[in-house]
Structure 1
Amino acid sequence: MKVEIINNKKTFWVLVLIPFQVFSMHIAEGFLPKEWAFFWTLVFIPFLVYGYRKLKRQIEKVPSTKLLFAVVCAFVFVLSSFKIPSVAGSSSHLTGIALGAILFGASTMSVAGLIVLLFQALLLAHGGITTLGANAFSMAVVGAFSAVWVYKLAVKLKVSQWLCVFLAAVVSDFLIYVTTSMQLALAFQSETNSLLENAIKFMSVFAITQVPLALIEGVFTVFVFKLLLNYSKNELTLLNPLLK
């Protein structure tokens, strides 16, 4: 699909209204132009390398957290596998990435995100291999770092812990969808519309379902967070002193 296909408003809305799954929160296989798919892969790789090294050090420091990391990956996989129909044949879904970001740190979620997205692309045809870098960047980088920043800010403001987690998950989910919309707007720029105008149009496809889904994700994340903290508080506080 070439960038030139979106050169006016009518063409844009014809594309959006075709009931394909290219506008789900995971960008579908082959949908991004190859130069953009390559670009996002290059952007994601440094985060993956750093995240892997940090995760390796964490597991060496506290070996018992290996199982907890597996639980976090499973949580992300399950939540992000459920697609909820949105408008015009598109779909939205939860992500679950905030939980791991708060527990293990934002950078380690690049590893979890890659594992989850790879399995989903191969087993569920959800997302794709060529779009793996773009999807991983939006979910496992933007989603993870925004969750940690919001959590830390809420802690400084002396907000209760459950509300810190809830806010982190809600903002993380919302910013993932905003980032995906920006990625699509960049890839399919229009001669008649600005980048921001295109991004707003893409975001409008998700907005009806994504806002309530972000709130639901916040509730799920708080529940699982409290469950893990009750059973593994000693191990997790060694990794993240903010969890004390």
Structure 2
Amino acid sequence: MHIAEGFLPPVWAAVWTVFAIPFVAYGTYRVAKYVRRSPERMAMLALAGAFMFVLSALKLPSVTGSTSHPTGTGIAIVLFGPGVTAVLSTIVLVYQALLLAHGGITTLGANVASMGIIGPIVGYLGYRVARQQSGVVTGTFVATVLADWTTYLVTSAQLGAAFPAGEGIGGMIGATGNFAAIFAVTQLPIGIVEGVIAAAMIKQLLVVKPAVKSKLGVTT
């Protein structure tokens, strides 16, 4: 759900940039802490980032000025939590904006806020609940689906606030609903498919990488 370069009014681009900065700063601290304590985790960070880059680059036309696609954040959420996910998302979004013309630099704050911050936070909360009830693999599916769907809802709200359908809050809410309805056609099934892929990947990692079991607290 990358919002295209120059599509947001400057004031909204600035608002979302200011919103994103402290989360990315905290995530940077978390990444540095991970690397200092366990340099071998760089490989897992690279894996999570690559997964995110590839999946979120698979774009389908959707709302004017945006696209529908997987977010790829599920693996990072499960392995490292939402703070690190914010940093990986920012790196991925910068590269995609510069190399693929997917998203943009002026809209980077908005895209990071939706895909790298709010979506992963909701996904992580869902993961914690689902994991307690049904285990890591099911938790990964829930985290991924919730992060994906939340990302598209936040993007809808960002577009609705920037381009309201009428005066006041009602116009913003109406526009948000219109954007969300269009996104839903592609994003609802995309989120489910992405959840299946992420869950399968975590399941395989638990088999071939004992260190992942320790990281996730899996005892069996």
- On whether the aligned pair clears a TM of 0.5, the verdict is yes
Match of 2:162 in 1: 187
1:222 and 2:193 matched: no
Contact persistence 2:86–2:112 (CA under 8 A): yes
* 1:136 Cα offset (Å): 0.5
CA contact (8 A) 2:77 2:143 kept: no
The answer to whether the Cα contact below 8 Å between 1:88 and 1:205 also exists between their aligned partners in 2 is: no
Higher-Rg member (1/2): 1
| Pairing 1:94-243 to 2, within 5 Å after superposition | 94-156=70-132, 158-192=133-167, 193-234=170-211, 237-238=214-215, 240-241=216-217, 243=218
Distance 1:186 1:87, change over 3 A: closer
Q: Quick one: structure 1 residues 113 and 195, their matched pair in 2 at CA, closer, same or farther if it must change by over 3 Å?
A: same
Q: Which has the higher contact order (CA 8 A, sep 6+)?
A: 1
**Identical residues among aligned pairs (%):** 40
Provide the C-alpha distance between the structure 2 equivalents of 1:235 and 1:57, rounded to a whole number of angstroms.
18
Q: CA RMSD in A?
A: 1.8
In 1, the alpha carbon distance for the partners of 2:89 and 2:163 equals 25
Question: Are 1:27 and 1:128, in contact at CA under 8 Å, matched by a contact in 2?
Answer: yes
Contact 1:47/1:107, CA 8 A, preserved across alignment: yes
Unpaired stretches in structure 2, ≥5 consecutive residues: none
How many residues are paired up?
217
Write the deviation string for residues 107-159 of structure 1: whole angstroms up to 9, x where unpaired.
01111001100000001000000000000110010121111100101123x21
Instruction: State the TM-score, normalizing by the size of structure 2.
Output: 0.92
Q: Structure 1's 26 and 154: CA in aligned 2 closer, same or farther, altered over 3 A?
A: same
4+ aligned runs moved over 6 Å, structure 1: 87-90
In the alignment, what sits opposite 1:12? none
Contact 2:71–2:115, Cα closer than 8 Å, also in 1: yes
Question: In the alignment, residue 175 of structure 1 is paired with which amino acid?
Answer: T
Q: CA deviation at 1:237?
A: 2.6
Evaluate the alpha carbon distance shift between residue 236 and residue 183 of structure 1 in structure 2; reply closer, same or farther with a 3 A threshold. farther
Letter paired with 2:146: V
Gaps of 5+ in 1: 1-24
